[in-house]
Amino acid sequence: MKRLWNKISYLGIYQKDTGLEQRTMILSNQLNLIMLITMICLLILVSIMCSLENEAYGIGSLRVLLLLIVNLVNLTLSYFKYPRFGRISLIFLPPIIFLIFPTLIGFVEEESFTYYPFILIAFSVLPQLLLVPDSEKLLCRISLVYYGLLLLFIERILLLFASEDIEIVNIIRGFFVYFKASQICIFVFLQFAVFYLRRLNIQFERDLNEKNRTLDRQNEELKDTLNKLKITQSQLIQLEKMSAVGTLTSGVAHEINNPLNFISGGLDLINESNVGEELSKNKKTADDFNTAVQIIREGVIRATKIVDTLMSFSYKNSSELTLTDIHQIIENTLLFCNANIPADISIRKDYRLKYKVPVYQDKMHQIILIIIENAIAAIQSKNRSDGEILKFSTDSIDDSNRKKAMIRIENSGPKIPDHIIDKIFDPFFTTKDPGEGTGLGLSIAYSFIKEHNGTIEAENIKEGVRFTIVLPV
């Protein structure tokens, strides 16, 4: 029953919002339904009474049937998306069907002079309930005049079509002025009261909507602030982790550097000694000795390079921009994550930048590292072939007579869907399964680039995806 009530209430309405016009449509549908049910019950009751008393249907029964048909037609109009006609019909037709139609065919009783005016007063509330005062002013005024004229002249209409002298008329004439004045006073009071209450309701609703909009705006601001706090907290955690790793890396690199210096110093002593001359008598032994020394020296050089890279990655939380060779940043980062780059991914380089760029070195390392890690993850997520690439290119560009450094990192991974490419730098946005990522990597890279007053963009290219970083010089 509740589902049927709701379904009929929302006939002809596209969206169930709280708009005033739509609420009048809902009320119109509900009134039509209530009147329809009431008329059906009255018709059944009258039918039973007529059957028990062996009487035919009278004018009263006929007007009940006509009003039932009107209510049914109104609901049908609402169903076919014409609820406005149903509202107008409900405002203007009931007085005609209930009062004027029976009078025109001579159905005038003594009781008609007493209750017809008050039925009119009751029906006159319908325009106040079913019309929107601001957008339907003309209809409101017409309906007010319509009910006012009917109330003024209803007795004259009744007398005009009465078939015989009615005794109550002589009784009413003695105090007709007071009788009519009381009706008009009730009519005017009811109209003003309903109008005032409805205006209060509309104003209350507007104030409530304004407060709701303010609350929604404040809610959005709170969400935005909370989101920023989460980002800041996550970045602080990340920075603290990097700081700890940097301190550990710096210490480890320093400790490794000491034995490397001993080894290097030992090789220098060997070269300066006459061991080589003594071994020269045995050519094979001398060749093996020289080969061993060369292998040790290459190992020391490679280990020293790794130590230098670790030292460059040690997080010092520097607050100053340092003129830096971007190519060295890229090389250090590649060396640092070389073990995580699959063998089937080819590294390509195209360095054209001719000058150093002022950057925060530690943050620049992290930016490159984050993009490399995302590129490797993207390539590994697809069906890989032998031609997978990770390409680094640099160049200088002139923007409004200002030189800028451009870094491009391309990968042959799958293209980023168009509907999410603008979101990949948003905090906590990730395409990974739950538990496989926090969605903070590219967001942190984006915030670090902003600290350099630079820009970072992602775009789909024919071979895959390209990240472009532009830094001011």
Cα distance between residue 44 and residue 40, in whole Å: 6
Beta carbons within 10 angstroms of residue 44's beta carbon: 10
Cα distance between residue 152 and residue 394, in whole Å: 92
Instruction: State the Cα angle at 301 between 295 and 305, rounded to 5°.
Output: 145
Please provide the DSSP assignment of 375-435 as one string.
HHHHHHTS---TT-EEEEEEEEEEETTEEEEEEEEEE-SPPPPTTTTTTTTSTT---SPTT
Contacts of 140 (CB under 8 A, 6+ apart): 127, 128, 131, 133
Evaluate whether 394 touches 408 at the Cβ level (below 8 Å). yes
Would you give the distance in Å from CA 96 to the centre of its chain?
51
User: Quick check: pTM over 0.75?
Assistant: no
Cα distance between residue 95 and residue 148, in whole Å: 12
Looking at residue 438, what is its pLDDT? 44
pLDDT digits (tens, 9 = 90+) for 379-403: 888 776 767 889 999 999 887 778 8
Tell me which residue of 470, 458, 471, 310 sits closest to 374, measured CA to CA.
Answer: 458
Pairing of the two strands 357-359 and 402-411: unpaired
Check the CA dihedral 94-96-97-103 and report its sign.
positive
Evaluate whether 470 touches 400 at the Cβ level (below 8 Å). no
The residue assigned the tokens 């049937």 is: 65
20, HSE (Cβ side, Cα atoms, 13 Å): 18
Looking at residue 353, what is its pLDDT? 92
Backbone angles phi, psi at 151, to 5 degrees: -65, -40
Looking at residue 27, what is its pLDDT? 87
Q: Which two tokens stand for residue 419?
A: 């509907």
Cα distance between residue 456 and residue 448, in whole Å: 10
Tell me which residue of 359, 358, 302 sits closest to 335, measured CA to CA.
Answer: 302
Q: What is the pLDDT along the chain (473 residues), one digit of tens a residue?
A: 788 888 888 887 765 555 777 888 888 888 989 989 998 998 888 888 888 877 777 777 788 888 889 989 988 888 888 888 888 999 999 999 888 888 888 888 888 888 889 999 999 999 988 888 778 889 889 999 999 999 999 888 888 887 666 777 777 777 778 888 999 999 999 999 988 888 888 888 888 888 988 999 999 999 888 887 877 776 666 666 655 555 556 556 656 666 666 676 666 666 665 555 555 556 666 666 677 777 777 777 777 766 666 555 554 555 678 899 999 989 888 887 777 788 888 899 999 999 899 998 888 888 888 898 888 888 888 776 767 889 999 999 887 778 899 999 999 888 888 888 888 887 666 666 554 554 557 887 888 898 899 999 999 988 889 999 999 98
Evaluate whether 428 touches 473 at the Cβ level (below 8 Å). no
CATH fold label, 322-472: Heat Shock Protein 90 (3.30.565)
